[in-house]
Structures are given as structure tokens and as C-alpha cells.
Amino acid sequence: MILSPKKIYLMLIVLGAILMTFDHLTSNALTDVGSPSELGNACAPCGAPCVDNQSK
Amino acid sequence: MSKAASIPSAVRRPLSFERGSLTLFGSLAVLIAGLVSLDTGLTGVGLFILGGLLGVVFLLFQYGFASVWRHALVRGEVMGLAAHFLLIGLCAIVFIPASALGLSAAGTVAPVTISLFVGAFIFGLGMQLANGCGSGVLYSFGSGSGRMMVALPFFIIGSVLGSFLLPSALGWGSVGPVAIAGGLSDGLRTIVNLSFISVAGFGFYLLGRHRGQQLSKRLVLACLVIAALCWAVFVLSGHPWGVTFGFTLWGAKLAQDIGIPVENFTFWQWPGPARALSHSLLSDISSLMNIGMVLGAAMVAAGSGQLSRQNWPSGQQLVAAAVGGVLMGIGARLSFGCNIGAFLGGIASGSLHGWIWFVVAMTGSWAGIQIRPRFGLEK
């Protein structure tokens, strides 16, 4: 029997919440929220470095 | 006899499900806000709330990109595109002259690379198969959409694959970041960029009027509210709103949990991603706002009874959602974002990559629309 979307949905939400809480409690936390573009020679929102005139 | 007791149990049951869901989502929101406040204080809580408000607004107004682009390409309905450029123009007013306005925030000027072209095309194609873009997948998932319950996990998988591909893809060729009118003062740069945005926006508006279409007040109101929220995100976080890095981070952390040495891949050794991977995902702006957006949409869906009305789409359509999700994930990483981070954030920051992303993703959308009927989706 296929579960209804709302049951699967609630299971995903609860599973996600458990995983998120586990990750938070077992990881270091920053004292301020951060974005990957803030560090290094970042040129993009994901933190990719600048690679000017690079071609092969 | 109380009023509640007089209602037949068959009628009461769905209500109790919705109330239970609303209580669950509300409790989760309070828990997360509490955890965030302990580490990142009011800034973190503020961004979490802004993510939630964006989820509420996007769901209430049914604001999206995938269907608007499809209707423009298939039916010639272009008022939605005019509205997109209205939103972009409103954001640009704050993003481009940020330093002149005294804000410690900066826009997104990403490089123009071969990977940008490839990724944007792939993203546009995937967006039409999945029936939603980055923000669309998030808020629709939040509202209990069966299609997005498939698309989101595959989006996450695709974006991790994209993170593995990006470092070598950057070697395909790049001319570096190109800021439009970058040599001019902030004021002139804003004027030049707003001119381009206005030409696009008014162009679509006039074309729509010529075709007898109307720009609804509701859509304009949605743009105004979303722009205000984007300004708040920009001021509070120091960056334009972005969605897809959060997906990449979630996938990478899950991959680590099952023993995949994600940290050894080049992408995850770059300083920004490395920091995100080694810290709580509640410290990452994109993740935090994404979680807020899901919960915001979820609370609206629970409060309006939408959760109980969701049905599974056909198997073919679920396959399309999975394929589209993977393509969007890979595409987003190769092209530095989605409709929010690259299209909205890029153009509103005066970055050439945003315009290229728009044109190429639109081409990819056209390709995706041609494929949709094979998955039982209408063009």
C-alpha cells in the first residue's frame, strides 16, 4: 500500500529535524552566521575562487 | 453541548491533523530559533524568520519562475517576466549602491565561465521537468507537494555531484567576474544597470500589453513584499539571498555520514565550503533560510488545509521530478546559483553572469518544455 503524501511528508520533516539537530549538536558552531563567499579568494556565492582568463 | 462536540467526527479528523501538523511545525520553528539564538544571536534568528516569511509569501502569492518562463515560451504570456524584472530592479536599487548607502553588504558578481553556460542550460531544462526552481522546490516541498518530495532529495544529490564537478569545470574557460559599468561610480553604475533592467522589464510589459495581457496588482504586490524581504536579507546577512548552497551542504553532510570522504574533494577544500562543512548547518545562511522557508510554507499549508489535499502525481511525473532535481542540482553548482542566486541576485548586483544565466537558462527551459510530454507533463 502506498503511503499518502502527507504521511511521507511528515516523516521527512521529522527525519530532517532529527538530522539537523544531531548535526547542530555534534558540530562546531560559528558565533555569527556565515556564507562561503566570505572566505578566501572567493568569486561566487558558493565560495569558488577567482580564475581569471583561465582556459585550456 | 459545545460547538466542537456537535461536529461529526469525520469532519473533525482532518482538522485535528492540520492542527497537529501546525503544532509540530511551530514547535520545530521555536526549537530551531532557540538553537540559533544560542550561537549566532539575533542575526541568525532574524535570517531564519526572513526565510520563513519568504516561504509564506511565495506560497500565498504562488510566486514562481518555472511556470512563468514556460507560459512565456509556450503561450507568449510575458507579464510574469515583466514582474520578475520589477523585482530585480527593486533589489538593484539597494544591492548595487550598497557601500554608498553605508551598508556593510555587497552584491554577487560571479565569473563568466564556460561552466556558467553549461550549468544554466542544464538548470533551465531540469526546472521544467521538475516543475519548479530552487525556491519553488523549497516552498512547494514545504506545502507538502508529492512531486517536490522527490525533486528535493534529487536536487540535493545533484548539487553534491555538481560540487565535485565544479573545480574541473572552472578550467574549461573563464573571463573572470564582469561587473556591468564596473569602472563607474556606484551611482552611475546603479543608473546604467537599472536602465538595462528597465529596458527588459518594460519591454516585456509593453509586449504583454500589445498582446492584451494585464500585469495583476496581486503580482506587483508580491514583487514589492518579496523585494522588501530581499532587502532585509541583504542588510542582515551582507549578501543577496541564495538558496542552492544549502542543498549542497546538506548533501555533503549526509554523504559524510555514510562514509563518503567529501572533505577530500577540491570544492570542499576551498575556505568557504570547508568552513561550512565543518560547522553546524544552522551557522550557514543559505541552510538556515531554506529551513525557515520550508517551515513558513508548511505552516501556511497546514493552516489552510492544503496539506491534506496533496496527491501523488503519476509515476512518470515523479521520474521527471527526480531527473529535473538532479539536473538542477548539477546546473546550479556549475552556474553559481539558481533563479534566486544567479538570476535575481546576479542581475540585481550588476553582474554580467546574471544576464547570461537568464538567457541560457531560458534556452534550457525551452529544451525542457519539448521533453515534458515524454513524462506525461503538458507543454
Closest CA to B163 of B51, B246, B280: B246
B157, B329 in Cβ contact below 8 A? yes
A29 with B280: Cβ contact below 8 A: yes
d(C-alpha B125, C-alpha B324), whole Å: 7
B292 within domain boundaries: yes
**Contact indicator for B361, B84 with CB cutoff of 8 Å:** no
Distance from CA of A50 to the nearest CA of B (A): 7
Task: Please indicate, yes or no, if residue B190 is contained in any of the structural domains.
Answer: yes
Q: Please, are residues B55 and B294 in contact by the beta-carbon 8 Å criterion?
A: yes
**Buried b / exposed e along B337-350 (16+ C-beta atoms within 10 A):** bbbbbbbbbbbbbb
List B179's β-bridge partners, or say none. B351
B297-324 core/surface letters (b: 16 or more CB in 10 A; e: else):
bbbbbbeeebbbebebbeeebbebbbbb
Query: Cβ separation of B272 and A17 shorter than 8 Å?
Result: no
Q: B78 lies in which domain range?
A: 15-375
- In the 8-state DSSP scheme, what is residue B279? B
Instruction: Work out how many CB contacts closer than 8 A connect A with B.
Output: 192
Q: Is residue B7 part of a domain?
A: no
Cell digits for B144? 507538502
- Å between A5 CA and nearest CA of chain B: 6
Could you tell me the three cell numbers for B149?
518530495
B108 and A44 in contact by Cβ < 8 A? yes
Instruction: Note the residue count of chain A.
Output: 56
Nearest CA among B286, B242, B240, B241 for reference residue B96: B240
Q: What is this structure's pTM?
A: 0.93
Is B290 within the bounds of a domain?
yes
CB–CB of B31 and A19 under 8 A? Answer: no
What value of ipTM does the predicted structure carry? 0.91
User: In a structure prediction context, what are the per-residue pLDDT tens digits for chain B, which is 379 residues long?
Assistant: 444 445 455 445 555 788 899 999 999 999 999 999 999 999 999 999 999 999 999 999 999 999 999 999 999 999 999 999 999 999 999 999 999 999 999 999 999 999 999 999 999 999 999 999 999 999 999 999 999 999 999 999 999 999 999 999 999 999 999 999 999 999 999 999 999 999 999 999 999 999 999 999 999 999 999 999 999 999 999 999 999 999 999 999 999 999 999 999 999 999 999 999 999 999 999 999 999 999 999 999 999 988 888 889 999 999 999 999 999 999 999 999 999 999 999 999 999 999 999 999 999 999 999 999 999 999 8
DSSP for residue B379:
-
Q: B162 with B333: CB under 8 angstroms?
A: yes
Number of structural domains, chain B? 1
Q: Assess contact for B229 and B289: CB atoms under 8 A.
A: no
Any domain includes B55: yes
In a domain, B66, yes or no: yes
Q: Which amino acid is at B36?
A: V
Q: Quick check: is B3 in a domain?
A: no
The residue of chain B nearest to residue A3, with distances taken between CA atoms, is: B312
Q: CA–CA separation, B151 vs B128, rounded Å?
A: 12
Which residue does chain A place closest to B110, by CA atoms? A44
How far is the C-alpha of B239 from the C-alpha of B108, rounded, in Å? 7
B1 CA: distance to closest CA in chain A (Å): 32
Q: Is residue B8 situated within a structural domain?
A: no
